[in-house]
Chains A and B, each alone.
Chain A
Amino acid sequence: MFAGRGRPLKIQKSMKQSIFTILENKRLAPSVFRMELVGDTSQITAPGQFVNIRLEGRFLRRPISVCDKAEDRLVLIYKVVGHGTQQLSEMAPGTQLDLLTGLGNGYDLSKCGEKPLLIGGGAGVPPMYWLCRELIALGKEVTVILGFNTAEEVFYEAEFAALGARTIVMTADGSYGRKGFVTDGMTALEKECGFAGKDAQQSDCAGSSADTFYSYIYTCGPMPMFRAINQVARTSGQFSFEERMGCGFGACMGCSCKTITGYKRICKDGPVLEREEILW
């Protein structure tokens, strides 16, 4: 009865609020948990999107990136960084959660050429998983570099390898995998694998480089890691940003950032930005 005197509403719907039920919530690393939920995942359409979780007693929702989804299942891997995520980590299976889903743009899979390189740093590792799975399903030759501070923080190495990705783990202190940052891993792989050379030239991806083993970069992690990657990257790529958010769906301008093409809301126009539009 409020439908506005017969004029149709021209609005593209992308987000959805619904109730999910926790199926499993287990520790993967000292402060990292994996939560599997069941609910309406219909609006979750791209790797790199996030959900915003309402928590009892907390005023703001908690934005968490989607690690994986399949039909009505949703996997979230989150790091305990404060009271809200602590509360999340203590929730038992069967608990119901109010989620806003379908938030953020997610990664664009169409630009990556044949040999995408996925780089996840710490809490930035989870969104790489669904992305990796999708890219492998598209027949891509995927390399994954996962960066952690130390051995006990490492998670999901076997899961990425099981998808069929070449998986390299870097630890800053050298206590597991290779010693160094993710960019050290990039440099080492360039030496070991030689250049993609001819293969990359043949790929139809714009911005791919003939000089290295990868045709495109997808990454999620902290800003210092992004800056380091940008210093050594030989191709174009997509970077997923984190910011303190108010609403998470584009209303409050709490998480805006400046880009080459003007301001963008990390929650709505991001969190994924292209390398060329980022103000480094």
Chain B
Amino acid sequence: MVSEVSRAAGRDAATHQSDTGFHADTTVTLSGWELDNPVIPASGTFGFGKEFAELYDINCLGTFSFKGTTLHPRFGNPTPRIAECTAGMINSVGLQNPGVDEVLAVQLPKLQSYFHKKVIANVSGFSVEEYAETVRRLDECDQIGLFEVNVSCPNVHGGGISFGTSPEAAAEVTAAVRKVTRRPVYIKLTPNVTDIASIAKACEDAGADGISLINTLLGMRIDLKTKRPVIANKMGGFSGPAVFPVALRMVYQVYEAVKIPIMGMGGVSSAEDVIEMMLAGAAAVQIGAANLTDPYICRDIVAALPKTMEQYGITSLREIIGAAHRN
């Protein structure tokens, strides 16, 4: 039995013993950073956590990935930015954020008052230099556990083609960011490519410490009444439970291609999904769109994990990472 004293010390928040005496270890490690559990709200669906902290103590989470931050403030795309789909949604927010300097001066200091763990810094850019400069500035902040570099943005110097669709461009961003921080660098990949494994491999070879996948799938909806696209920008990123099998398949493929850890995401909305993602090869799992429709979902998944582990005879989550690949 875990003693009340050690619980109070916080260290054993991640070891759970059921009524039947089953012992479930939910801890995972990302490049040396131990998390109480693998449940991580995904960037762009959780802001800086404040809205969710109004509802529950978000310190129960493994950590979270903060709103994608760029060097300069961005308003983002025109509205409507949201379209509903069967078992999912399309968003075209366009990386609205106040810019790295305000994130450092305002958002991160505020975050300290309601979140006491390290956080994942999600970073975007429109040139290699922008990525590196944003990471360099954020690197001074002790609250950051690792960087998650979103390479789905268009490269303004490369004809607007997303960095993440070319192994060379993805590697170039990886190498540039790698040089300006000692913290782990995870590259968040777009699924809108023909061979995601080759891009993951290029990032690993360029010095990435891990891979995050998948970002949203490019999609669209058309309004039958107006006969025009629902989203002002016409197309946007499709996410939600509908994309889970695609995300799972890509995590599985990338796990075979690289040795570095993977954060798996895409349509995850239950403790079972978390476990399935880990079996495919994820060392930790992010939850995105589900936060918007059920703001308690991450808390509920954290709470459900030990019981679900017991149900499937899993004593330690870290031991099942990639288990689906075993012969």
Does A174 have its Cβ within 8 Å of any Cβ on chain B?
no
Which B residue sits closest to A258, measured CB to CB? B75
A11 touches B114 (CB 8 A): yes
Stretch at the interface among A66-74, A116-124, A194-202, A243-251: A243-251
Does B158 have its Cβ within 8 Å of any Cβ on chain A?
no
Chain A residues 1-40 with CB under 8 Å of chain B are 1-5, 7, 9-17
Give the distance to chain B from A223, nearest Cβ to Cβ, in Å: 11
Does B260 have its Cβ within 8 Å of any Cβ on chain A?
no
Does A178 have its Cβ within 8 Å of any Cβ on chain B?
no
Q: Tell me the complex Cα distance, A244–B116, Å.
A: 33
CB-CB under 8 A for A59 and B79, given A5-B10, A14-B54, A251-B291: no
Q: Tell me the complex Cα distance, A9–B113, Å.
A: 6
Give the distance to chain A from B67, nearest Cβ to Cβ, in Å: 8
Name the one of B7, B51, B86 contacting A251, with C-beta atoms under 8 angstroms. B51
Name the one of B44, B79, B83 contacting A255, with C-beta atoms under 8 angstroms. B79
Q: Tell me the complex Cα distance, A61–B293, Å.
A: 6
Does B144 have its Cβ within 8 Å of any Cβ on chain A?
no
Does A257 have its Cβ within 8 Å of any Cβ on chain B?
yes
A251 touches B54 (CB 8 A): no
B93 touches A257 (CB 8 A): no
Name the one of A2, A59, A249, A254 contacting B59, with C-beta atoms under 8 angstroms. A2
Q: Tell me the complex Cα distance, A2–B53, Å.
A: 13
A60 touches B89 (CB 8 A): yes
Which A residue sits closest to B232, measured CB to CB? A244
Contacts of B8 in A (CB 8 A): 1
Q: Tell me the complex Cα distance, A252–B51, Å.
A: 10
Contacts of A12 in B (CB 8 A): 54
Name the one of A11, A244, A247 contacting B53, with C-beta atoms under 8 angstroms. A11
Does A256 have its Cβ within 8 Å of any Cβ on chain B?
yes
Give the distance to chain B from A70, nearest Cβ to Cβ, in Å: 25
Name the one of A1, A251, A255 contacting B46, with C-beta atoms under 8 angstroms. A251
Does B156 have its Cβ within 8 Å of any Cβ on chain A?
no
Chain A residues 222-277 with CB under 8 Å of chain B are 243-247, 249-258, 263, 268
Q: Tell me the complex Cα distance, A251–B296, Å.
A: 13
Which A residue sits closest to B9, measured CB to CB? A5
Does B256 have its Cβ within 8 Å of any Cβ on chain A?
no
Instruction: State the main secondary structure of chain B at its contact with A.
Output: loop
CB-CB under 8 A for A249 and B114, given A9-B53, A60-B82, A268-B51: no
Give the distance to chain A from B285, nearest Cβ to Cβ, in Å: 19
Contacts of A58 in B (CB 8 A): 84
Q: Tell me the complex Cα distance, A254–B95, Å.
A: 11
Does B13 have its Cβ within 8 Å of any Cβ on chain A?
yes
Name the one of B54, B82, B85, B88 contacting A254, with C-beta atoms under 8 angstroms. B82
Name the one of A84, A243, A254 contacting B91, with C-beta atoms under 8 angstroms. A254
Give the distance to chain A from B233, nearest Cβ to Cβ, in Å: 12
Name the one of B76, B82, B96, B115 contacting A244, with C-beta atoms under 8 angstroms. B82
Count contacts on B: residues with CB < 8 A to the other chain. 48
Contacts of B289 in A (CB 8 A): 59
CB-CB under 8 A for A247 and B114, given A60-B84, A60-B89, A255-B81: no
Contacts of B115 in A (CB 8 A): 4
Q: Tell me the complex Cα distance, A180–B50, Å.
A: 45
Does B47 have its Cβ within 8 Å of any Cβ on chain A?
yes
Contacts of B96 in A (CB 8 A): 253, 256, 263
B83 touches A244 (CB 8 A): yes
Give the distance to chain B from A19, nearest Cβ to Cβ, in Å: 13
Does B295 have its Cβ within 8 Å of any Cβ on chain A?
yes
Q: Tell me the complex Cα distance, A9–B10, Å.
A: 16
CB-CB under 8 A for A4 and B295, given A59-B88, A59-B89: no
B240 touches A59 (CB 8 A): yes
CB-CB under 8 A for A256 and B89, given A3-B59, A11-B114: no
Give the distance to chain A from B76, nearest Cβ to Cβ, in Å: 7
CB-CB under 8 A for A255 and B59, given A246-B292, A249-B295: no
CB-CB under 8 A for A255 and B82, given A61-B293, A247-B291: yes
Give the distance to chain A from B232, nearest Cβ to Cβ, in Å: 10
Give the distance to chain B from A38, nearest Cβ to Cβ, in Å: 22
Q: Tell me the complex Cα distance, A195–B240, Å.
A: 56
B55 touches A247 (CB 8 A): no
Give the distance to chain A from B78, nearest Cβ to Cβ, in Å: 10
A246 touches B82 (CB 8 A): yes
Contacts of B293 in A (CB 8 A): 54, 59-61, 247
Give the distance to chain A from B164, nearest Cβ to Cβ, in Å: 21
Chain A residues in the interface with B (C-beta under 8 A): 1-5, 7, 9-17, 54, 58-61, 84, 100, 243-247, 249-258, 263, 268
Can you offer 10 A-B residue contacts whose CB atoms are under 8 A? A1-B13, A4-B116, A10-B114, A60-B82, A60-B292, A251-B45, A253-B81, A253-B96, A256-B81, A258-B75
Closest 5 CB pairs of A and B: A4-B116, A247-B292, A254-B82, A244-B80, A10-B113
